[in-house]
């Protein structure tokens, strides 16, 4: 066990997998000698050699396309896209190729690739360094989408993703790379070291894809969250004193529907939280499923707390970011009903 | 600024349209044998003339001439001829099958049969081909079972792709033939990644990829060449310039200003321009590029100059946008006819043997088609709808299980 | 007034706008001399000249990027993407550029472009000629997405789209280009001529974006649909005899929420129908909104009838396509409740 | 296949790393004046040598020599010098402001000031520049108000972009400067579309676009060149090869095998390779390309060979990946220093005038910065959050109105 930040934990997952499996290789913009703009791949090129962790041209489409080709050959490539905002030039490759290769070839070829990318806001990155595009992946059958909220999960989920034989989008909430952040931006930054899930095994372990975690038990209301918003939801519950059950989805595809349904049937109220803009966001699917499966248990409309339906604007970081006060307000509406 | 002259927008237009006399005078065709053959490990910067030549082996008399003559033995030539003739016979039968309502769609490669056949014979079984939909001759040269093709085209119960794909979008891993898709261009850089993987593993396998001249305009094309250059991937990147992209002529893809082989120059890669209707030239160019790749010399771009003699697909009617008799005027002739004449000239073939082979192949195709029809044509037979739900993921999640159940399978 | 198919009506909209406004031009793959693979642009190049309707390289990214540049210059380009499946190479241009240009430039530049594209299944097009990607556009603030269901609307909505100063994705349900199709594939094909909305004015008129149409009044249940599925829903209502109110959304962004809410508050039951696969599809947003705004009126869970969460497979056209029987089953579930 | 040799994967590596002695011997630098100047309407196929030359005007002694000498009058040269010096002063002040916590981010263009300044003086007010984030000197040469820039960088209440953009991602329509974005490469083909629109309208306006050498690997680059070629768009497509893309050297973008100017060859376009630290060469090359474009000759690709003397951005520390003193060894020198020496050599400038101008500019920047700070730095001042909801659409729909209300504005 070592105390790790998210960055260390993700680095450790890559290191463990590169050590265990010669078919695992890591590439992307600035990930080689330099170790990545967020230092996630630091030391990997030096340790494992320049052909196992290297820089690529600035061409997200080319990165994913070559990764798919490598996957078809039999490797397990782990590609980094420097910011989730820049996945879109590769979106066609992900949707039309990675997601469908197994299906359309009748199982002859498949795409065991992992695409890591820092996502989300909270760092004054403006509209091109704050994107949360998870809904765009969730709608695409054939892709899996994983979003950890702490170092322990990050490492275990990333190992599971790399070992998975389907294409996995691994979204890293960059705002919590170096410490948990609960949306209370006026408060001093806290460190992972003080968080229990920063205790991370040094070796190989797996957190399975498709299993949510109940990070706080409660009876009065269910809050569904992932990534940074797990911490925001926890802060909102603590601050408001609401008896909230908070579920960290961990992967949105596959989705742990059982855990969600069980909780909402118990609490009868539900709030869905994400950073991405609201309209047709992943929260909509959660609402649709919850009302479908828990209709007769629900006592109030399911509330959504999300980014606004605008781009993410630089000066308005904290007006845009769905912080604890907006979650509290939503919980209160849901608890009140009507 | 004073007195600026008005600009105007240039829209490329083909030299002829329906009703006009076909005209191919814009295509530069140097005589067979006139284009030099550099050593396979020549640096890219010393081959900048190559995209403006034309690698040709068969001359007007049908003789093999010049430095690119691959000096193939008659048996190899006969195998190549067979693969091309089989392709043409199969195409014509399946085109008919579509017209008879047996399937939804079909695409022929008439006139382009050399482009898959020759490379298929150059590459090894464990190399990988990343084809377009017009490279079925690659499979034909490897004796892929015709019945499997027919079943795929009919999406019937025995379709190896389980009813999931449009006709002709084959996948044949065991034959070194990567999964096709309807999205143009998206697999071109897969070939580069696959080749990089071989190099990464210190294996010796190489890849060959195809793209239509129209599709070179996609960003995917550039990404593939960029990665191929930067990482010196052992891959052969082929542009099949058949003059047309559905209804748009090669000028719309950028062919007015330079050759497609010249695209290689921007990446420091060798760019060969090759007579695509000359089986020997196609073979030699592929061989050269394969040797370069296998010697760690990296990628080669090849433009095959050819002509799409048929319609784009069964959905197309080319007489709407080009002279009906354009194919007959194509200056590089027909690849089957040219190889046949060459073999006859060598004394290794005859009209009689040709006709006998043609009849044999027609029969083989007929048999496969009939067998496929016995299993069922589109709509008459299909795999179990349960197959709609498998292979989305390696292991289905609850969504897929529930939905499958909802449909009753 | 002329009796028109969808194709004729769309062609007429383009012709009318090219005649009225020299800044309107039309381009895309095969749209020039040939008139488009679905013949939608037939005759436009001959009538208006080769620089006003022309073929482009096969490069969807380039088509949209140059359209954006033209829009910034002051033109009103109408770009065709040959199949909606092939919009994805241009997705980054639509999301990162067209949708955000006005916002990020503080209103200095904007993108008055229209992107037309045939979409949807029902034609044995297999997984690469059947896509319904509307959810991918709906989630992107800054884009508008319009989907007509008949010739009259198609022309009026397309004219509105071209005159709109924001980027509009205009999705054309190709299955009903030449005649309404209600999903009963065993029955003879019907012609637009027999459908009232095939009576189309020859000149200029507008169907405003953001106004839904109640295509069938009813009291017992609300069905939300667009494109081809409007006809399927009508067939399902007719066949089952259900007293269904069927709303043709016509544009999903902007969405006519008032009409939806008013109807569901009246009928208290709701079915959402689309061809796109279900998970995180646009139907999820409709469910989320309806439960949010009509929670206390609803008597049964909102049902979704959608494409399966698989690619669209060639041989299984009618197993995949959400036809009337699946809509009827969903209506019955919703009417029954529990 | 028997005895196939194992392949290996090539990973490009820069010649030097931190601790090593800087080495630029891989960069071919012919003497000033040695590269020919073709007539502006020369067909692309007759200029295939140009990407391998280097357009240089200022020789080692600071004299203007050779066919590309634009023969500018001293006043023009002084204006260019001023724009470059203003840029450098502004950069250094704003870099400091970031270090003092006044904003979130900043990017300098140190060493690359000629690339915007000279073209800005060549192009007309109604032409349009599609810049990268390192082309601020284009605005500086047009006297864009410094205070507006400072306000944008601080995202304060007077930010012309209403608090929406990262620092330096300006938009300045009235100055012929298109809206920037953080997404690399996506505007390159906008310039082509804009230029096509001008040609379509039979106007006479042209466009200039910039892209980093690293970003040429994006598909957008290829799409832009393809459309520019096919439709002969009146546009100048500039590649700023400053040797680095964050931490990756130009070899990772494809610069090992050939020049970036050579990318033009694949499209039949002229490709000029130009000394980017030579104001006169940059001016002359831009002038040549502008004349070609205005004469309906279509697009030109220009590679400006330069060096990113500073870090990539305020988030970067270049000593982690390149020798700390690499900038000092850059063989093409400093553009400000070289133009200054040239002017002094002409007798039109002096150390004293230089220092006086520098002091004046420093003061102007200081004044603007202070004024901006008085309005407020990031977080201390901002536009009304209501601005978060405007301009998403021309007219907001109910979602935006409701959300704005929910936030209380
Ligand atoms: C991404 C994408 N865009 C458009 C299409 C529609 N389309 C199918 S084939 C074709 C023409 C391709 O021409 P070319 O690349 O020259 O290949 P050829 O058919 O001549 O072999 C087009 C535009 C497609 N399938 N995929
Ligand atoms: C599409 C996209 N991918 C990646 C990035 C991250 N990024 C920002 S700048 C940069 C390097 C750009 O290098 P180059 O094009 O050479 O321009 P330079 O900074 O040297 O002027 C990268 C990778 C981005 N902003 N956009
Ligand atoms: Mg073609
Ligand atoms: Mg650079």
Interface touch D163/A313, C-beta < 8 Å: yes
From chain A, the residues in CB contact with C135 under 8 A are: 135, 139, 280
Task: Reply yes or no on whether the pLDDT at B1 is more than 60.
Answer: no
The highest-level CATH class for domain C213-336 is alpha beta
Q: pLDDT value at position B4?
A: 86
- From chain D residues 34-73, the ones with a CB under 8 A of any chain B CB are 44-45, 48
Contact in structure between C257 and C246 (CB atoms under 8 Å): no
CA distance A85 to chain D (A): 8
Give the pLDDT confidence of B269-324 residue by residue, as tens digits: 999 999 999 999 999 999 999 999 999 999 999 999 999 999 999 999 999 999 99
The closest-lying atom of ligand 2 relative to the alpha carbon of residue D134 is: 21
Q: CA of D399, closest CA in chain C: separation in Å?
A: 9
pLDDT > 90: what percent of chain B?
Answer: 99
The helix (run of H) or strand (run of E) holding residue C78 is strand C76-80
pLDDT in tens, D180-189: 999 999 999 9
Instruction: Parse chain A into domains and list their residue ranges.
Output: 2-200, 213-336
Q: Which atom of ligand 1 is nearest to the CA of B253?
A: 16
Residues D174, D221: Cα–Cα separation, whole Å: 26
- The number of C-beta contacts closer than 8 angstroms across A and C is 120
Among protein residues, the one with the nearest Cα to ligand 2's atom 7 is D184
- Which ligand is the nearest neighbour of the Cα of B184? 1
What tokens were used for C203?
């000149």
Torsion angle of the four alpha carbons D320, D321, D327, D332, in this order, in degrees rounded to the nearest 10: -170
Q: Which helix (H) or strand (E) holds C221?
A: strand C221-225
CA–CA distance, D336 with D13 (Å, rounded to integer): 31
C51 — pLDDT class (breaks 50, 70, 90): very high
Task: Look up residue B70 and give its two tokens.
Answer: 């691959």
Tally Cβ neighbours within 10 Å of residue B373.
17
Domain(s) labelled CATH 3.40.50.970 in chain B stretch across 44-312+327-378
Residue of A nearest to D250 (CA): A57
Distance B216 CA to ligand 3 centre (A): 9
Q: What is the pLDDT of residues A254-298, one digit of tens each?
A: 999 999 999 999 999 999 999 999 999 999 999 999 999 999 999
| C-alpha span between B233 and A26 (Å, rounded) | 17
Rounded CA separation D64/D282 (Å): 13
Which residues from chain C sit within 8 angstroms of residue A287, using beta carbons?
A: 284, 287-288, 291-292
Inter-chain residue contact D10 with B231, CB threshold 8 Å: yes
Which DSSP symbol is given to B38? -
- Decide if pLDDT at A338 tops 70: no
Q: What gap in Å lies between CA C229 and CA D157, rounded to an integer? A: 48
Question: How are strands ordered across the β-sheet holding D128-130?
Answer: D128-130, D207-212, D235-241, D300-305, D271-275
Nearest CA in chain A to B203: A73
**Which of helix, strand or coil describes residue A259?**
helix
Query: C34 C-alpha to center of ligand 1: Å?
Result: 15
Q: How far apart are CA A77 and CA A71, in angstroms?
A: 7
**Angle, CA D396 vertex, CA D395 and CA D400 arms, to 5°:** 170
| Helix, strand, coil content of chain B in percent (nearest 5) | 40, 10, 50
* Structure confidence at residue C338 (pLDDT): 60
Question: How far are the Cα atoms of A84, A93, A327 from residue A88, in angstroms, in the given order?
Answer: 8, 9, 30
Residues with CB under 6 A from ligand 1: B 132, 134, 182-184, 212-215, 240, 242, 244-246, 308, 312; C 29, 58, 82, 86, 89
Tell me what the mean pLDDT of segment D135-153 comes to: 98
Chain A CB contacts of D383 below 8 Å: 315
Compute, in angstroms, the gap from residue B127 CA to the centroid of ligand 3: 25
Summarize pLDDT for C102-148 with one digit per residue, the tens.
Answer: 999 999 999 999 999 999 999 999 999 999 999 999 999 999 999 99
Question: What residues of C are labeled active site?
Answer: 129
DSSP conformation letters of B225-237: HHHHHHTT--EEE
A251 neighbourhood in chain C, CB within 8 Å: none
- All residues at 6 or more sequence positions from D266 whose CB lies less than 8 Å from its CB, including other chains: B258, B262, B263, B264, B265, B266, D225
Tell me: ipTM over 0.95: yes
CATH topology classification for A2-200: Rossmann fold (3.40.50)
C-alpha B330/C-alpha B246 separation (Å) is 17
What is the atom index within ligand 1 of the atom nearest the CA of B185?
1
Residue % of chain D over a pLDDT of 90: 99
Instruction: Convert the pLDDT of each residue in D229-256 to its tens digit.
Output: 999 999 999 999 999 999 999 999 999 9
Angstrom distance (rounded) from CA B195 to CA B176: 13
**C-alpha–C-alpha distance, residues A51 and A41, integer Å:** 14
Where does the pLDDT of residue C337 fall: very low under 50, low under 70, confident under 90, or very high at 90 and above?
confident
- For the segment B194-212, the average pLDDT, to the nearest whole number, is 98
Which residue among B107, B138, B214 is best mutated to probe the pocket of ligand 1, counting the most ligand atoms within 8 A of its Cβ? B214
Among candidate residues B155, B53, B99, B218, the one with its CA nearest the CA of residue B376: B155
Q: Are B159 and B152 in contact (CB under 8 A)?
A: yes
Could you say which of D166, D185, D220 has the minimum Cβ distance to residue A126? D166
Closest by CA position to A9, among listed A190, A195, A200: A200
Classify strands C144-146 and C114-119 as parallel, antiparallel or unpaired: unpaired
Name residues contacting ligand 2 (CB within 6 A).
A 29, 58, 82, 86, 89; D 132, 134, 182-184, 212-215, 240, 242, 244-246, 308, 312
CA–centroid distance, A62 to ligand 2, in Å, is 15
For residues D246 and D296, give the distance between their C-alpha atoms in angstroms, rounded to a whole number. 37
- C-beta separation of C144 from C161 below 8 A: yes
pLDDT reported for residue B3 = 73
What is the DSSP annotation of A171-198?
Answer: EEEGGGSSS---S-TTSPPP-GGGSGGG
Whether residue A189 is predicted with pLDDT greater than 90 in this model: the reply is no
What is the residue-wise DSSP string for B267-299? GT--EEEEETT-HHHHHHHHHHHHHHHHTT---
CA distance C249 to chain D (A): 15
How many CA atoms does the CB half-sphere of B110 hold within 13 Å?
19
Rg (CA), chain A: 19
**Strand, helix or coil for residue D91:** helix
Nearest CA in chain B to D200: B9
**B200 to chain A: closest CA residue:** A51
DSSP for C89-138?
Answer: GGHHIIIIIITTHHHHTTTS-----EEEEEE--SSS-GGGS----HHHHH
| pLDDT reading at C250 higher than 90 | yes
DSSP letter at A94?
A: I
B165 and C124 Cβ atoms separated by less than 8 Å: no
Residue A320 contacts D, CB cutoff 8 Å: yes
Q: Whose CA is nearest to atom 7 of ligand 1?
A: B184
> What pLDDT was estimated at residue D40?
97
Query: What percentage of residues in chain C have a pLDDT greater than 90?
Result: 99
Other CB atoms within a 10 A radius of the CB of residue B125 amount to 10
The 10 Å CB-count burial string (b at 16+, else e) for A98-120 is bbbbbbbbbbbbbbbbbbbbbbb
Structure confidence by residue, pLDDT tens digits, B180-189: 999 999 999 9
Residue A316: closest CA among D388, D159, D405: D388
Nearest-10 crossing angle of helices C151-163, C6-20: 30
Task: Give, for B118, the enclosing helix (H) or strand (E).
Answer: helix B114-122
- Reading the block at residue C132, the tokens are 């319904």
Residue pair D118/D142 in contact (Cβ under 8 Å)? The answer is no
CA distance A253 to A209: 8
- Report the C-alpha gap between A15 and D248 in whole angstroms: 22
Backbone angles phi, psi at B232, to 5 degrees: 45, 50
- As a whole number of Å, the end-to-end CA separation of chain D is 73
Count of A-B CB contacts under 8 Å: 133
Which ligand 2 atom is nearest residue D182's CA?
25
Residues of A known to be catalytic: 129
CA of B183 to the centre of ligand 1 (A): 8
Closest CA to B243 of B129, B323, B170: B323
Residue D214 has pLDDT above 60, yes or no: yes
Atom of ligand 1 nearest to the CA of B245: 13
Q: Which ligand is nearest to the CA of D247?
A: 2
Give the whole-angstrom CA distance, residue D84 versus residue D333.
14
Intra-chain end-to-end CA distance of chain C, in Å: 49
What was the pLDDT predicted at D2?
58
Contacts of residue B181, defined as CB under 8 A and 6 or more positions apart, other chains included, come to A96, A97, A100, A104, B169, B187, C128
How many Å apart are CA B47 and CA B40, to the nearest integer?
10
Rounded Cα–Cα distance for residues A202 and A207 (Å): 14
Element (H, E) at A135: helix A134-138
Q: What pLDDT sits at residue A202?
A: 98
Distance B213 CA to ligand 3 centre (A): 5
- Domain B44-312+327-378: top CATH class: alpha beta
| Residue among B48, B219, B269 minimizing CB distance to D219 | B219
Give the model's confidence band at A106: pLDDT under 50 very low, under 70 low, under 90 confident, else very high: very high
Q: What is the pLDDT of residues B235-268, one digit of tens each?
A: 999 999 999 999 999 999 999 999 999 999 999 9
> Which D residues in the span 282-341 are in contact with A, Cβ-Cβ below 8 Å?
315, 320-321
D183 and A86 within 8 Å at the Cβ level: the answer is yes
Phi-psi region of B332 (alpha: psi -120 to 50; beta: other; left: phi over 0): alpha
**Residue contact A97–B165, C-beta within 8 A:** no
């Amino acid at each position: 066990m070592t105390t790790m930040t998210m960055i260390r934990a993700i680095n450790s997952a890559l290191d463990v997998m590169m050590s265990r499996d010669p078919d695992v290789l890591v590439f992307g913009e600035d990930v080689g000698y330099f170790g990545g703009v967020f230092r996630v791949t630091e030391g990997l090129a030096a340790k494992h050699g320049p052909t196992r962790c290297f820089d690529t041209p600035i061409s997200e489409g080319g990165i994913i396309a070559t990764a798919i080709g490598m996957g078809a050959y039999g490797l397990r490539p782990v590609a980094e896209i420097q910011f989730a905002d820049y996945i879109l030039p590769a979106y066609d490759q992900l949707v039309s190729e990675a997601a469908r290769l197994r299906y359309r070839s009748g199982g002859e070829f498949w795409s065991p690739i992992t695409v890591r990318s820092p996502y989300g806001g909270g760092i004054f990155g403006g509209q091109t360094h704050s994107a949360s595009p998870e809904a765009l992946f969730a709608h695409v059958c054939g892709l899996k989408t994983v979003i950890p909220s702490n170092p322990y999960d990050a490492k275990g989920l990333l190992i599971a993703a790399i070992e998975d034989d389907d294409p996995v989008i691994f979204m890293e909430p960059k705002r919590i790379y170096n410490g948990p952040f609960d949306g209370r931006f006026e408060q001093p930054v806290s460190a992972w070291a003080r968080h229990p899930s920063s205790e991370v095994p040094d070796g190989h372990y797996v957190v399975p894809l498709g299993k949510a975690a109940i990070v706080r038990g409660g009876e009065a209301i269910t809050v569904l969250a992932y990534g940074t918003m797990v911490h925001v939801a926890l802060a909102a519950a603590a601050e408001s004193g609401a008896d909230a059950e908070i579920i960290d989805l961990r992967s949105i595809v596959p989705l742990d529907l059982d855990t969600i349904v069980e909780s909402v049937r118990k609490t009868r109220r539900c709030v869905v939280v994400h950073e991405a803009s609201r309209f047709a966001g992943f929260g909509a699917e959660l609402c649709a499923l919850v009302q479908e499966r828990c209709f007769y248990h629900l006592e109030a409309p399911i509330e959504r707390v999300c980014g606004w339906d605008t781009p993410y604007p630089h000066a308005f970081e904290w007006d845009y970011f769905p912080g604890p006060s907006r979650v509290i307000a939503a919980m209160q509406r849901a608890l009140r009903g009507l | 600024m004073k007195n600026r002259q008005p600009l105007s927008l240039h829209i490329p237009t083909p030299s002829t349209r329906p009703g006009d006399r076909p005209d191919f005078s814009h295509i530069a065709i140097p005589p067979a044998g006139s284009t030099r053959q550099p050593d396979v490990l020549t640096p890219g910067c010393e081959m900048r003339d190559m995209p403006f030549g034309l690698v040709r082996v068969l001359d007007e008399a049908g003789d093999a001439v010049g430095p690119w003559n691959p000096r193939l033995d008659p048996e190899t030539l006969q195998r190549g001829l067979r693969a091309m003739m089989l392709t043409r016979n199969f195409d014509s039968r399946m085109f008919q099958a579509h017209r008879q309502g047996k399937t939804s769609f079909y695409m022929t490669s008439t006139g382009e049969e050399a482009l898959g056949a020759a490379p298929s014979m150059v590459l090894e079984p464990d190399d990988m081909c990343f084809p377009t939909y017009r490279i079925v001759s690659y499979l034909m040269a490897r004796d892929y079972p015709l019945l499997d093709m027919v079943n795929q085209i009919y999406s019937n119960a025995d379709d190896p792709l389980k009813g999931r794909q449009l006709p002709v979008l084959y996948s044949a891993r065991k034959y070194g033939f990567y999964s096709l898709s309807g999205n143009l261009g998206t697999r071109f850089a897969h070939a580069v990644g696959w080749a990089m993987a071989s190099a990464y593993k210190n294996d010796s396998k190489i890849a060959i990829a195809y793209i239509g001249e129209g599709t070179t305009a996609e960003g995917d094309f550039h990404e593939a060449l960029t990665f191929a250059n930067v990482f010196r991937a052992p891959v052969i990147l082929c542009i099949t310039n058949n003059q047309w992209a559905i209804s748009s002529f090669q000028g719309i893809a950028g062919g007015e200003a330079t050759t497609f082989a010249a695209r290689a120059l921007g990446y420091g890669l060798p760019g060969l321009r090759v007579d695509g209707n000359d089986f020997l030239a196609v073979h030699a160019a592929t061989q050269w590029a394969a040797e370069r790749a296998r010697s760690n010399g990296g990628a080669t771009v090849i433009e095959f100059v050819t002509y799409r003699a048929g319609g784009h697909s069964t959905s197309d009617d080319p007489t709407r946008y080009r002279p009906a008799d354009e194919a007959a005027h194509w200056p590089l002739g027909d690849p089957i006819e040219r190889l046949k004449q060459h073999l006859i000239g060598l004394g290794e073939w005859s009209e009689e043997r040709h006709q006998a082979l043609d009849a044999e192949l027609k029969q083989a195709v007929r048999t496969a088609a009939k067998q496929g029809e016995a299993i069922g044509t589109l709509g008459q037979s299909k795999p179990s709808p349960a197959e709609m739900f498998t292979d989305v993921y390696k292991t289905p999640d609850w969504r897929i299980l529930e939905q499958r159940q909802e449909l009753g399978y």
